[in-house]
Structure 1
Amino acid sequence: MKIKKRYHIKKKKMKEILDQIGEFSLLIPRKATVEIIETDENDIILINGEPLLMFMDERVVPTLRGAIHMKDIEKGYVVVDMGAVRFLANGADVMSPGIVDADPEIERDDIVIVVDEKHRKPLAVGISLISGPEMIENDSGKAIKTIHHIGDAIWNLEV
């Protein structure tokens, strides 16, 4: 990942981001230093020097570090069995048979945080391809397209 530009965020843009991220707005303390890093892939939002949010298309989504800072994720979570962990660490998409539980309010094209069954630690951020109830019911097929996972360039970003 190549960094092209780094700059502080303007107040108007900050308000737009806060309106968009919902419960993840807790990641941005009142007096935080908020910057944007433009890269050759996705632009990343640094909060006090840590990459906690990123732009995905026109949406602002949490990075795994952001999800870890949140501790308990109440909405948009998907729980996978421990057998899926090694595949997710390599960037695989999430398949329905590996899903143990999911937020019933998830709809198609929502941003989701994938956590492991045992420790409830975030493993990946993805876009849902089906609804939450369908993820649990289905015995086959892809449920989530992975956009960011442990060990990728965003996870390893040092600034």
Structure 2
Amino acid sequence: MARRYVLSKRERRRLLEELEQRYGSIGVGKNDVVEIFEERNKFKILIINNVPAFIFYEDKWIPHLKYLLRNPNIKAPIVVVDMGAVKPLLRGADLMAPGIREIIGVFGRGDVIVVVEEKYRKPFVTGIALVDSNDIVSGKIKKGKVVKNIHRIGDSFWNML
């Protein structure tokens, strides 16, 4: 059973402080409506002014792509991929090391990652790092999965709200 509710002032303040500590300024004003949409025992989505903003996944708040596209100032490590990696990622595949063109920022195993394509630099996947960025940059890891695909354009989270 799904439910959607507005956060209390205390819950809102605590959650927004946690998100801003992790992602920098997320652009939420005093008069903005902050809600939670949750499917019991499955997932939670933070909604800001009727736009899905963050997905709660494995004890982490992961930026929703609709919010990232509207607010590009959210700070998270970025992995730039070649155009050959785009289609498999949009079908739900995990990111493999050979598809990476560039890494912006530093991340460790378990950190939230935003994946962008190399031509327009638009985010189209958010995921969880399976390895450290230093291992990829140094060439220690040249093949295999490096980012677990959690949310992509066109998936169930994208189409939900």
Asked whether the 8 Å contact 1:149–1:155 carries over to 2, the reply is: yes
Q: What is the aligned length?
A: 156
In the alignment, structure 1 segments of 5+ residues that lack a partner are none
CA contact (8 A) 1:129 1:144 kept: yes
Structure 2 length normalisation: TM-score?
Answer: 0.88
Deviation at 1:30, TM superposition (A): 2.4
Alignment of 1:156 with 2:154, yes or no, is: no
Residue identity opposite 1:31 in structure 2: N
Q: Is the 8 A contact 1:124 1:150 kept in 2?
A: yes
Cα deviation, residue 34, structure 1:
0.8
Q: Paired residue for 2:101?
A: 100
Partner residue in 2 for 1:67: 68
Evaluate the alpha carbon distance shift between residue 25 and residue 17 of structure 1 in structure 2; reply closer, same or farther with a 3 A threshold. Answer: farther
Question: Which 10-residue stretch deviates more, 113-122 or 24-33?
Answer: 24-33
The answer on whether the counterparts of 1:27 and 1:66 sit within 8 Å (CA) in structure 2 is no
Report the counterpart of residue 14 of structure 1 in structure 2.
Answer: 12
Give TM-score scaled by structure 1 length.
Answer: 0.89
* 1:111-136 Cα shifts (integer Å, max 9, x gaps): 01111111111111100011113234
Match of 1:39 in 2: 39
Provide the rounded CA distance (Å) in 1 between the counterparts of 2:38 and 2:78. 28
Question: RMSD of aligned C-alpha atoms?
Answer: 1.7
Code of the residue aligned with 2:153 in structure 1: it is: I
Match of 2:144 in 1: 141
Q: Which runs of 5+ in 2 are unaligned?
A: none
For residue 76 of structure 1, report the CA deviation from its aligned partner.
1.1
Q: Matches of 2:24 and 2:69 in 1, distance apart?
A: 11
Q: Percent identity among equivalent residues?
A: 35
Distance, in Å, in 2 between the alignment partners of 1:88 and 1:43 is 23
